Structure 1
Amino acid sequence: MKKLIYFIIIAIGFSSCVDLDLNPNDRPSSGTFWKTPEDINLALTATYGSMRRNMWSFSTPCWDNLTDNSYGQHAEGQYGLTTNMVQGNIDPSSGGFVSEVYLGALADIARINIFLSKLKDFSGLDSTVKTQYEAEARMLRAYYYSYLYRGYGEVPIVSEPLTLETQYQEKKPQAEVYKFMMDDIDFAIANLKDATYSGAKGRWTRNAAKAYKARMILYTAYDDAGNMISSKMSEAKTVLSEITGYSLAPDFSDNFIDVKQETSPEIMMSIKFLAPNTTTSADMWYADWLVVSPLLNFMEEFEMKDGTPGTALPKKAGSKFTLDTETFTNASLANRDPRLAKTVFIEKYVINGTEYTAGNAKPTGAGLAKFLSSNLTPPYGYSTLSQQDWVIMRYADVLLMLAEAENELNGPTLLAYNSINTIRTRAGMPPLPAGLSKDDMRKRIRHERRIELAFEGQRYFDLKRWKTAKTVLNAVQDAPVVYKFEDKNYLWPIPQSEIDKNQGKLSQNTDYK
């Protein structure tokens, strides 16, 4: 049976540094809370609850709308305002991801800092348990800082609860932000439980923290010209080589289908949901509303079943970006890498063998099938209580990162081949051909990352860390809008609203002044 940490949002001083002289009887106050070990555990649980924000959880696929994988037809802020962003319309007043990541991450970090402060002063816990709780909270803080670091570079480092005197913070250099984040991760690795995902029941574990550490090391492992930094690659490979106890799930889709997630040997960390208490809008968003529309060039990236390059897909007459769904249908997907049919649908989504027509416009003729529920009754709508857990880290990514680090350091060795072929074999694809050069293997690894991890929120950050974002995104020709990525877009502006209210202490990123 699927299990869940119930994320209890309670009045424990998470939203204010000022105590009001009020004691409502229906909820604990900051004066009556923090008294028992159970209070501390509930407070930690509440910090995990912040991970259910859309942008960290079920709107994760929308991050791919910033890439060559897909297009987002909606302009509402909850979808990241990606239509504006891919056209290069990014400025200090931008909404969507540009403002929400900054505001959301710092709000969640503030809650964690309050928890850590209360935990430090609490004497009613065994020291081992207390250290474990600190490790979990600091890993959560590092998770939020990883988005601030990759999004804005220079941001305030907030390690203590803010007061009226300290609420205005200046930015710190990017290197200091990275060190602060990695110090939290290292503390977590040293003190988290050495448990599996199923055993940890939704909490951070040592191996999951190691995998996330490797992800962040690799984000810094290429210079501005896209050349690998050997010391960083070696560091990442060492961390990845220490990860044990995980394997690939029998089927690629087991990681995303609600009824299979709890027993997947591949998931290392996820954000948990359980209806009716905590639900998502994922099925409605992606099946009916088509919040994410896969681009043709993305679908063409999938190889044919025999491992040969994917052929061009037929376009609707007179269109550069819409699939001809009369000649290419869901049945046509069977000729490609099997992961394609498990990732997209053509015109109509298929649940348990029955096709359903998506309600919204279909800009490219395709929709996102990867995360749809097979145990809920379509057509999906407002009443659909989706409860997929949202995967943050899985073992396939560990194998892909290991292959990347190994190839960059030593070329296409047996380790690099085996890491990729393990994933391809699970997918039902033939192994890579022998005799690949280092450059050829690099292309294959990047291809596998794009295919295997599609819509899991990694493509945008991969393009940025490889320093290929400008080349790749400006070459997109099959989207309803013209893509534009400038060098300055490797970092985002600090939201102007935050600049305005920080009394001159917070300065704007240079390229957006």
Structure 2
Amino acid sequence: MKRHIRQLAHILFLSAALTSCGKLELNPLDQISTATFWKSKSDFDKALTANYASMQADPWAVELPVWGCFTDDGFAQHNSGSAREIVSGSISPSTGGYVSWIYGESYKAIARVNLFLQQLEGYKNADITDTDRKQYEAEVRFLRGFYYFQLWHLYGDVPLVLEPLTLETQRQPKVPAADILAQIVRDLDFAAATLKDVPYFQNAGHATATSAKALKMRVLLYGAYGETGVADAAIMKQVSDLGKQVKVQYSLSPKFEDIFRDAGQKNNPEIIYSTNFLAPNNTRPWDMYYGDWLVVSPLQNFVDAFECTDGLPYGISPLTDKANPFKNRDTRLAKTVFRDHPDFGDGKVHTPSNSRPTGYGVMKFLVPENIPYGFSTLSQQNAVVLRLGDVLLMYAEAENEVSGPTADVLKAINDVRARSGQPALPAGLTKDQLRERIRQERRIELAFEGLRYYDLKRWRIAGKVLNNVKDSFVPYKFEDKFYQWPIPQPEIDKSGGVLLQNKNY
């Protein structure tokens, strides 16, 4: 499924484009068109691959760590994703980077899904069975649920498009965010009920029922806190129930680093869904970006957030060694961050060509066998979207809100901690105290996996946290209106007045 996925991604784009050219009597004979494609099950297999390829877009794959630069965790010295504008409060309808990109690319990906579903509905040949048909639909609806989740949690009210658009229907108004959420849940529920009920690592890169359930957990957690930051117990109960169903099919990877290096990702028992790559034709510059260019530079406050090996905070623990700050620390620190340059031991060292503004770089996604890192490096690490470590912490968070600090909640978080050799949390924590420990554990365990910005916003503490960042090279400013990004101005302009801008922009 992974081979040639980038080339196959163009199939649906070309099909959609040519569909709109109804007045042309002849299609170019050297190009794919809807008249010559969609003729066999093989064509639908290729189109399905093209739909999965939409997930390879940089902000959902190789640039997942950049999302950490919108938070208190990192600094983007090259301004990837317009991180400087975002953290400094210069977000407007004209802001580029992710503010405009996520909106446009999400709808492009949704258009591919909708075209696929339209063609599938009209296809009557016997080589696609009813079982095949349901499986196809479930896989692309899982993907559509992911894209609408991006739109919903970043922009709020957006257009809801469920079929291919025409010249007559291309201008779509926004619908309430609640309607978008309802559609996300419908898509994910259909996927969860229809996809194969096997672990992801046994399904050749295709989404499974547990992939859909884990994504639904993430969606519901964002909605559970509303605009108050207080969790809705009924929604949290749904998250907890889903977590129980998902976690039984997976186990934590014995080695933390194996989750992120291609050699350890194959059949990894922790990965619940990933976006896949394969050298030499389908790679992304993971090693060059983070090991050579230092696209993301961890901030000092983030490095200081890792505990010492006795479970006490750095600076408070008697094991604190200011002269050797990586000594006696949670082992995830050295597996997440490097000082000055990546050094894997045994002579596997790379000296970055770019500056080290904070003195640190991101180690987490680097592969030692790919040294030296540069333009010729063929990095084929998969982008991990969902994994058991996240599910256990989502489950612990939800169950703590429902039932308090039960033994089951503590086991979930302590299992995650135990992998890195950290001691179990102390007994006697209150519900409020455990909530803070779970949030801290998410910051450490899931660092630079694209989730910190999402977490701060759903907990409604983004202003409190981000406006207190003092160790970056950009002054931070978060306003309440930034809980929703503006609709990109070009989308407003071309809508002819149909699409309205978000409030306060």
TM-score range, shorter chain: over 0.9
Partner of residue 230, structure 1? 233
Instruction: Give the alignment of 1:415-454 within 5 angstroms.
Output: 415-454=408-447
More displaced 10-residue stretch of structure 1: 153-162 or 193-202: 193-202
Q: 1:440 to 1:33 in 2, by over 3 A?
A: same
Distance 1:146 1:137 in 2: 14
Contact map agreement 1:73 1:291 (CA 8 A) in 2: yes
Matched, 1:64 2:58: no
In the alignment, the residues of structure 1 paired with residue 34 and residue 99 of structure 2 have an alpha-carbon distance, to the nearest angstrom, of: 33
Q: Please, which of 196, 200, 214 is the counterpart of residue 197 of structure 1?
A: 200
Aligned-pair CA distance for 1:479: 0.6
Give yes or no for the alignment of 1:374 onto 2:375: no
1:117 aligns with 2:118: yes
- Which of the residues 496, 503, 508 maps onto 2:496? 503
2:161 maps to 1:161: no
> Gaps (5+ residues) in structure 2?
none
> Helix, strand or coil: the match of 1:463?
helix
Whole-angstrom CA distance in 2 between matches of 1:429 and 1:412: 19
Partner of 2:471: 478
1:348 aligns with 2:341: yes
CA contact (8 A) 2:3 2:282 kept: no
Amino acid at match of 1:80: G
How many Å apart are 1:197 and its aligned residue?
A: 1.8
For the 8 Å contact 2:72–2:466, the answer to whether it is kept is yes
What amino acid is the match of 2:371? T
Is residue 130 of structure 1 aligned with residue 133 of structure 2? Answer: yes
> Which of these residues, 273, 291, 295, is aligned with residue 295 of structure 2?
291
Tell me how far 1:6 sits from its aligned partner.
Answer: 3.8
Counterpart in 1 of 2:2?
A: 4
Conservation of the 8 A alpha-carbon contact between 1:146 and 1:181: yes
- Aligned residue in 1 for 2:38: 34
Alpha-carbon distance in 2 for matches of 1:289, 1:60: 15
Aligned to 2:148: 145
Q: Deviations over 1:337-359 (max 9, x none)?
A: 00000000001111444332211
Structure-2 change in CA distance of 1:336 and 1:16 (3 Å):
farther
Give the letter aligned to residue 407 of structure 2. L
Q: Which amino acid aligns with 1:173?
A: P
Alignment of 1:254-273 (within 5 A): 254-273=258-277
Contact kept in structure 2, 1:280 and 1:387, CA below 8 Å:
yes
Q: Are 1:5 and 1:272, in contact at CA under 8 Å, matched by a contact in 2?
A: no
Deviates more, 1:163-172 or 1:350-359: 350-359
Matched, 1:95 2:96: yes
Residue 395 (structure 2) aligns with? 402
Read off the aligned partner of 2:339 and give its amino acid letter.
I
- Structure 1 regions of 5+ residues with no counterpart? 314-326
**1:367 alignment partner, SS class:** strand
**Residue in 2 that maps onto 1:316:** none
Compared with structure 1, are the counterparts of its residues 394 and 5 closer, same or farther at alpha carbon in structure 2 (3 Å cutoff)? Answer: farther
Q: Secondary structure at the match of 1:370?
A: coil
2:385 corresponds to which of 378, 384, 392: 392
What does 1:311-322 correspond to in 2, within 5 Å?
311=315
Q: SS where residue 342 of structure 1 aligns? A: helix
Question: Offset of 1:53 from its aligned partner?
Answer: 0.5
Q: Does the CA contact (< 8 Å) of 1:334 and 1:341 recur in 2?
A: no
Match of 2:45, SS?
A: helix
1:253 Cα deviation (Å)? 0.9
Task: State which of 440, 455, 460 in structure 2 corresponds to 1:467.
Answer: 460
Tell me the CA shift for residue 17 of structure 1. Answer: 3.6
Question: 1: CA distance between counterparts of 2:133 and 2:345?
Answer: 47
Cα distance, 1:14 vs. partner? 3.1
TM, length-normalised to structure 2: 0.95
Q: 1:193-217 deviations in whole A, cap 9, x for unaligned? A: 1122222222110001101101100
Q: CA deviation at 1:491?
A: 0.3
Q: How big is the shift at 1:28?
A: 3.0
Which deviates the most, 350-359 or 35-44? 350-359
1:247 and 2:241 correspond:
no
The amino acid that maps onto 1:411 is G
2:288–2:375 CA contact under 8 A, matched in 1: yes
1:107 is aligned to 108
Identical aligned residues as a percent: 48
Q: Find the aligned partners of 1:147 and 1:22 in 2 and give their Cα distance.
A: 38
Amino acid in structure 1 at the alignment position of 2:160: I
Residue 362 of structure 1: which of 347, 356, 362 is its match? 356
